[in-house]
């Protein structure tokens, strides 16, 4: 791929592509040379280069090795629905354009080549989507494998991983879902959702700790989608459990009817604050740990480039030691954040049901 910072824009009057300026070519060539070892990376570029790996990408990479570009799916109100095998093939068709950096990677937004305006909807597969799929496949495989073992020997006592997975399910049922939801009927109905929620988040968190992996829960789009699903689960369950009339009365929070102009807006705002808090908490905690890890590793290269090889080697034991400590802490955070997200969702369901829940209690 070309290493130039190019927008493949198609002029509506002349039908040709503008060439990049000389300064752009020289600047980008310097970055390309640095990336390939022909130049020297500036100390100030160390941390931006490392932290850029945390974002969402349109290619699959393992460390600094690009494995494959990902499919592009576009819907635009003017030109319709289009799919491409990769960003490169999309750009070569010259119907849409995308920014290409000095390393040959494409970045959004996707624009129409005719008028350089963003497309209506970008549904493309990205790197974090792929890692979400991997997490889903891992969870389905493990539960399917354990389920087949139960069916094969239903009377045999579980052992090994089967026992561990059964312990997890029982723990989620008895210590998170039943005590917090407040209604046995709703708890039984929602138990598969909470098990899937916990396992999906925990698996995504663990995959992000594998060297070369990416943390899907470190993206606002992913945590936001999980929170939106939780929002509908919370309110639909409350309406089914209490009835629409009692659910609307619950918006008063027990206050007199004449306070409804004040209480109802506050309650509605709180309904949206809860999923927002779920979104930011999971995103911030999973992103912060990775930022600290990469920053600690980046100190080695920063001091090497700014102060020489000796200083870089001297800082290495300190940086590696703190990195190992942070990595172990991240393992705990991966489990803790899945637990917190699941528990808070169950608590919010119980609060939404409130005093209208059935007079049944889990023991």
Q: Is the pLDDT of residue 229 over 70?
A: yes
Q: Is the pLDDT of residue 80 over 60?
A: yes
For residue 109, whether the previous peptide bond is cis, meaning omega lies within 30 degrees of 0, is yes
pLDDT at res. 64: 64
pLDDT at res. 161: 83
User: Do 224 and 272 contact (CB within 8 A), yes or no?
Assistant: no
Q: Tell me which of 239 and 260 has the higher pLDDT.
A: 239
Q: Is the pLDDT of residue 280 over 70?
A: yes
Q: For 130, phi and psi rounded to 5 degrees?
A: -60, -40
Average pLDDT over residues 334-352: 92
Q: How far, in Å, CA of 329 to CA of 323, rounded?
A: 10
Confidence grade of residue 238 (pLDDT, cut at 50, 70, 90): confident
pLDDT at res. 38: 42
Average pLDDT over residues 34-63: 66
pLDDT in tens, 158-197: 777 888 899 999 999 999 999 998 788 889 999 999 999 9
Give how far Cα 348 sits from Cα of 299, 325, 363, Å: 42, 34, 20
Confidence grade of residue 30 (pLDDT, cut at 50, 70, 90): very low
Confidence grade of residue 292 (pLDDT, cut at 50, 70, 90): confident
pLDDT at res. 141: 94
Average pLDDT over residues 131-149: 92
Cβ burial 169-191 (10 Å sphere, 16+ → b, else e): beebbeebbbbbbbbeebbeebb
Residues paired with residue 106 on neighbouring β-strands, in sequence order: 100
Maximum distance among all alpha carbons in the chain?
77
pLDDT at res. 35: 42
Pairing of the two strands 106-112 and 72-76: unpaired
pLDDT at res. 182: 79
Give how far Cα 233 sits from Cα of 148, 229, 334, 353, Å: 29, 6, 24, 11
User: Do 149 and 143 contact (CB within 8 A), yes or no?
Assistant: no
Average pLDDT over residues 96-109: 79
pLDDT at res. 233: 93
Domain ranges of the chain: 22-125, 129-356
Q: Tell me which of 43 and 28 has the higher pLDDT.
A: 43
Confidence grade of residue 360 (pLDDT, cut at 50, 70, 90): very low
For residue 64, count CB atoms less than 10 angstroms from its CB and return exposed for 0-12, middle for 13-18, buried for 19 or more. Answer: exposed
For residue 351, count CB atoms less than 10 angstroms from its CB and return exposed for 0-12, middle for 13-18, buried for 19 or more. Answer: middle
Q: How far, in Å, CA of 293 to CA of 291, rounded?
A: 5
pLDDT at res. 20: 38
pLDDT at res. 272: 87
Q: Is the pLDDT of residue 24 over 50?
A: no
- Helix (H) / strand (E) containing 6: none
Average pLDDT over residues 123-145: 91
pLDDT at res. 132: 92
pLDDT at res. 21: 37
Residues paired with residue 60 on neighbouring β-strands, in sequence order: 68
Q: Is the pLDDT of residue 245 over 80?
A: no
Confidence grade of residue 98 (pLDDT, cut at 50, 70, 90): confident
Of 5-14, 225-234, 262-271, least confident by mean pLDDT is: 5-14
């Amino acid at each position: 791929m070309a290493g130039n910072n190019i927008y493949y824009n198609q002029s509506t009057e002349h039908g040709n592509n503008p060439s990049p300026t000389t300064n752009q070519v020289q600047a980008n060539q310097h970055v390309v040379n640095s990336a390939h070892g022909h130049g020297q990376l500036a100390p100030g570029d160390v941390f931006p280069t490392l932290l850029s790996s945390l974002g969402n990408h349109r290619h699959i990479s393992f460390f600094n090795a690009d494995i494959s570009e990902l499919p592009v799916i576009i819907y635009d109100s003017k030109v319709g629905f289009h799919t491409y095998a990769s960003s490169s093939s999309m750009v070569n068709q010259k119907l849409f354009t995308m920014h290409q950096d000095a390393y040959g990677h494409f970045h959004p937004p996707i624009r129409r080549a005719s008028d350089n305006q963003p497309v209506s909807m970008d549904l493309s597969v990205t790197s974090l989507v792929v890692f979400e799929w991997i997490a889903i496949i891992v969870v389905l495989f493990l539960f399917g494998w354990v389920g087949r073992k139960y069916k094969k020997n239903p009377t045999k006592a579980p052992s090994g991983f089967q026992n561990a997975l059964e312990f997890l399910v029982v723990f989620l049922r008895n210590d998170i879902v039943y005590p917090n939801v407040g209604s046995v009927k709703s708890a039984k109905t929602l138990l598969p959702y909470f098990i899937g929620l916990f396992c999906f988040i925990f698996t995504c968190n663990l995959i992000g700790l594998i060297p070369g992996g990416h943390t899907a829960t470190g993206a606002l789009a992913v945590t936001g989608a999980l929170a939106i699903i939780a929002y509908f689960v919370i309110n639909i369950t409350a309406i089914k459990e209490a009835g629409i009339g009692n659910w609307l009365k619950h918006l008063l929070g027990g206050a007199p009817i004449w306070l409804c102009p004040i209480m109802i807006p506050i309650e509605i705002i709180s309904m949206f604050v809860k999923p927002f808090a779920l979104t930011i908490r999971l995103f911030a905690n999973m992103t912060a740990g990775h930022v600290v890890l990469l920053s600690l590793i980046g100190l080695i290269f920063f001091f090497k480039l700014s102060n020489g090889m000796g200083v870089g080697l001297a800082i290495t034991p300190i940086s590696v030691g703190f990195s190992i400590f942070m990595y172990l802490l991240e393992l705990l955070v991966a489990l803790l954040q899945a637990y917190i997200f699941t528990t808070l969702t169950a608590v919010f369901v119980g609060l939404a049901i409130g005093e209208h829940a059935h007079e049944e209690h889990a023991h």
